[in-house]
A and B are shown apart, each in its own frame.
Chain A
């Protein structure tokens, strides 16, 4: 018994070391954001803030126009992209999961194939295409490729989700006189909610964090999203402006943090069922 207690204590010490290792960058960022600028660049370094101030929060939230702009760009682009991905995946996933039609296997194989291809391959042609149509530096510049890149993933998840719905439900809805549209919208969609939640969290995380396409397709920083925008802010400020930078980073994490807490279980389901994304 005593030995068992020791091993449990050891286990929790180990788990705490792991937790602290992963959390320490967050803790350091929070500490930095609360220190007066003078203290951030004093030596020797003070680990815990000696004076706590919210001046950086006030500055970033109310006076940093660039940050506000990037934040609202991120919200608009992520909101529209995720919405479109979910709708289109629900449409396509329904046909793949519950219908038989010509070319079905070919189309699904193609979807599975592109899940393994790195996104870098699409970047040059998409840039050329958007440049020729003057689409760069706009919301659409990012929304269109984000929707396409995430669709294979959404189709895959939604196909699985629609498949698990028992046939009896479809039959009885048809006997009640539901047409195809009603069947999809009123009967199938509510039953596919877990799949919709999984698709939402996985694509939200992707779009909110995307860097490669954003840095390439939005050369005008007015259209930029947070992952690139905050790097811009850092580059413009030149010196170590980690007082405002740490606040900007922390605030940019809040939407995804809330969603992550709400849909954590669907997120876990999503990555354990598939796991490929590049």
Chain B
């Protein structure tokens, strides 16, 4: 009887996990090797690897989506890491009003990403948007005519900026926690030894932030690849296919064309990409995160 007690506690949550996570994980893996049009086909038909091969060999839209995802991911990842580190450095030095300044960087966390998209469509509106209006006022009249979300060359980067606004707070929090864990005696010693501001940050602070950098990087990798709400709401994947991403494409294949097998294959490629990048990051930033 005593031995059974833990299971009474574990079984209720694991029923949920089994039905809504373990089973879907397996079923979509099976679907990714099958042909299954949800409207016409009675049952999924196994077609083996050819689904994956066709994606890479014969599906231009998939390749575009993959390319856009990688461009978005790369630009987003390095920007979010760099800017949140810089912002954390600045906020950490403040003595008065720390709460207000920190709160202002975290505040966008409360905005659902889809609504962040709606807000920025308004801000970046070519006619009534405040952004281009201010650009014009500041004398950048050339730039102020650009329809940022409607231009083939700028739309993807405009989405990166929206995502940075929304998610930067998370990584700033992580870096700030890291900076606060470093004893001030360390940077004092560096200053006594004659290190300047940049030397101190680069050689003394950064190496001590490794663990926190890893957490921030792993967090950002997932956000860098998971791009759905913004193109859905702000650009519809356009103009052309300029902001078509893997997530958006998988969703359209599944719920626009009801090709559930193909959509599952795209989802698995996306998951594979995230896991691969996670491994690269863990490997680059040195020691594995220890399990507490």
User: Which A positions have Cβ atoms within 8 angstroms of B?
Assistant: 11-12, 14-16, 18-19, 22-23, 25-26, 28-29, 32, 40-41, 43-45, 47, 88-89, 91-92, 94-96, 99-101, 104, 107, 110-111, 114, 116-118, 120-129, 144-145, 147-149, 151-152, 155, 160, 180, 184, 205, 208-212, 215-216, 226-228, 230-231, 234, 240, 242, 245-246, 249, 252-253, 256-257, 260, 264, 268, 271-272, 274-278
Query: Within 8 Å CB of B233, what residues of A?
Result: 231
The answer to whether B263 and A252 have CB atoms under 8 Å apart is no
- Digitize B136-151: 1 where CB-to-A-CB distance is under 8 Å, 0 elsewhere: 0000000000000000
The answer to whether B222 and A276 have CB atoms under 8 Å apart is yes
Q: State how many residues of chain B have any CB contact under 8 Å with chain A.
A: 91
Interface residues of B in 212-230 (CB under 8 A from A): 212, 215-216, 218-219, 222-223, 225-226, 228-229
* 13 A–B contacts, CB within 8 A, in A order: A14-B90, A25-B116, A32-B122, A116-B278, A121-B267, A124-B24, A126-B24, A144-B20, A268-B173, A271-B173, A272-B173, A275-B174, A278-B222
A-B contact count (CB 8 A): 257
The answer to whether B130 and A47 have CB atoms under 8 Å apart is yes
Query: Within 8 Å CB of A124, what residues of B?
Result: 24, 28, 31, 254, 260, 263-264, 267
CB distance from A91 to the nearest CB of B (A): 5
Query: Within 8 Å CB of A44, what residues of B?
Result: 133
A16 (CB) vs chain B CBs: closest residue: B101
Name the one of B3, B104, B119, B128 contacting A41, with C-beta atoms under 8 angstroms.
B128
B108 sits at the interface (CB 8 A): yes
CB distance from B256 to the nearest CB of A (A): 11
B165 sits at the interface (CB 8 A): yes
Name the one of B25, B229, B271 contacting A212, with C-beta atoms under 8 angstroms.
B229
Contacts A88-B16, A226-B112, A257-B110 given: A114-B118 contact, CB under 8 Å? no
**A203 CA to B106 CA in the complex, in Å?**
17
The answer to whether A122 and B114 have CB atoms under 8 Å apart is no
**A11 CA to B86 CA in the complex, in Å?**
12
B243 sits at the interface (CB 8 A): no
CB distance from A67 to the nearest CB of B (A): 13
The answer to whether B119 and A29 have CB atoms under 8 Å apart is yes
Known: A120-B247, A127-B255. 11 other contacts (CB 8 A): A15-B94, A92-B10, A121-B267, A123-B267, A209-B113, A211-B229, A226-B112, A230-B114, A240-B125, A253-B115, A257-B110
**A160 CA to B291 CA in the complex, in Å?**
11
B62 sits at the interface (CB 8 A): no
The answer to whether A231 and B122 have CB atoms under 8 Å apart is no
Query: Within 8 Å CB of A41, what residues of B?
Result: 128
Does more than half of chain B's interface fall in helix, strand or loop, or is it mixed? helix
Query: Within 8 Å CB of B274, what residues of A?
Result: 116, 118, 278
A253 (CB) vs chain B CBs: closest residue: B110
Query: Within 8 Å CB of A25, what residues of B?
Result: 108, 116, 119-120, 123, 165
Q: Which of A111, A128, A264 has the most CB of B within 10 A?
A: A128
The 10 A-B pairs of least Cβ separation, nearest first, read A148-B20, A125-B24, A209-B112, A278-B222, A92-B13, A95-B9, A101-B6, A19-B104, A227-B112, A99-B6
A212 (CB) vs chain B CBs: closest residue: B228
Q: Which of B109, B212, B268 has the most CB of A within 10 A?
A: B109
The answer to whether A151 and B110 have CB atoms under 8 Å apart is no
CB distance from B174 to the nearest CB of A (A): 5
The answer to whether B108 and A22 have CB atoms under 8 Å apart is yes
Contacts A44-B133, A120-B250, A260-B110 given: A92-B12 contact, CB under 8 Å? yes
Interface residues of B in 174-207 (CB under 8 A from A): 174, 177
CB distance from B226 to the nearest CB of A (A): 6
B47 sits at the interface (CB 8 A): no
B72 sits at the interface (CB 8 A): no
CB distance from B77 to the nearest CB of A (A): 14
CB distance from A29 to the nearest CB of B (A): 6
Query: Within 8 Å CB of A101, what residues of B?
Result: 3, 6-7, 10
B127 sits at the interface (CB 8 A): yes
The answer to whether A208 and B112 have CB atoms under 8 Å apart is yes
Name the one of A40, A144, A227, A268 contacting B114, with C-beta atoms under 8 angstroms.
A227
